[in-house]
Amino acid sequence: MGIKATRKPSPRPRKPVPAPARTSVADALFSATQQRVLGLLFGQPQRSFFTSELIALAGGGSGAVQRELRSLEESGLATLSRVGNQKHYQANADAPIFAELCGIVRKMLGPADVLREALAPLQNELQAALLYGSVARRSDTATSDIDVLLVSDTLTLEQVYAALAPAEQRLGRPVSPTLYTVAEFRHRQAKGNPFITKLLAGHTLPLTGGTDAFLAAG
C-alpha cells in the first residue's frame, strides 16, 4: 500500500510494465520465509518447534528456514534448546520486542489473515465466514483447532477442506470448518440453536467482506 502513490513518475516513457501485484503489509516488511517462520514462532509463542518441523511447516527451502532460525536465535528473538540431537526453537518471551512481535504476527500473519487469504478464491460462493472459538477469543493453545463457520449454498465440504489445506499448513494447526446452507443457518438462528446462539454471542472475526451484513440481516 502506498508504494505506487508515492513513486515519482518515470523521467522518460518506458515500455508499460505489468501492474504490480497488491503488496500486503506483511510482504512489505518480511520475506516469504521470514513470514512463515515468524508466523509459526510468534503465532504460537508457547510452543516449541524442532527444526525439521519448522522446515516442513514453513514449506520453504530448508537452508532458508535454517538461516532465519539462526539469526532469530543469535538476535535473542528466539531461544534454542537441545533435546538429544534435536534442536528446539521457541519465541523468546524475554526479548524486548516479544509482545510487539506477537501483536504484529497476530495482526498480519495470524489465523484470521491466513484464513482470509485461503478463503479468498471461494469468496463469491460464501455468504458468510466466521472465525470463532478459542482462537477468536485468543485463549487457544498449541493444540487448539481453529474453528470456522461457513455459510454457502454451493460449496461442498471437500472443496472447503481443500481450500483450507494451505492455511492449515501455514498455521501448523488443523482448521475445523462447519458448513451450513443459508436455510440451515437462518433456521438455527431463528430457532435459537444453542451452538449458533453461543457462537454469535461470543468472540468472532469475519473472514469475508459480506459476513457482517449477512449476520445482521438475520
Partner 1 sequence: MPSSPLDNLARIGQLKAEPPAQVEFDGLLRSGQVRLADAQHRTLSLESRFDLAYNAAHALSLAALRWHGYRSENRYLVFQSLTHTLGLEPAQWRVLDQAHRKRNLAEYEGDLDVDEALVEAMIRVACAVAERTVALGPVPQEPA
Residue 97 or 157: the one with the smaller Cβ distance to partner 1 is 157
Residue 62 is a binding residue for partner 1 (CB under 8 A): no
Q: Maximum CA pair distance of the chain?
A: 66
State which residue, 54 or 148, has the beta carbon closest to partner 1: 148
* Binding status of residue 181 toward partner 1 by CB under 8 A: yes
Smallest distance, Å, CB 181 to partner 1? 6
| Of positions 93, 99, 142, 157, contacts partner 1 by CB under 8 A | 157
Contact criterion met (CB below 8 Å) for 140 and 172: no
**Does residue 162 interact with partner 1 by CB under 8 A?**
yes
Q: Is 125 in the site for partner 1 (CB under 8 A)?
A: no
**CA of residue 6 relative to chain centroid, distance:** 29
Cβ proximity to partner 1: between 29 and 182 the closer is: 182
158 lies in the site for partner 1, by CB under 8 A:
yes
Distance in angstroms (rounded) separating the CA atoms of residues 91 and 217: 42
Is residue 4 within 8 A of residue 18, CB to CB? The reply is no
Q: Segment near partner 1 (CB under 8 A), from 12-20, 50-58, 64-72, 160-168?
A: 160-168
Which cell numbers hold the place of 54?
Answer: 519448522
Listed as own residue / partner, the contacts of 64-67 with beta carbons closer than 8 Å and 24 or more positions apart are 64/33, 65/33, 65/36, 65/37
How many chain residues touch partner 1 (CB under 8 A)? 18
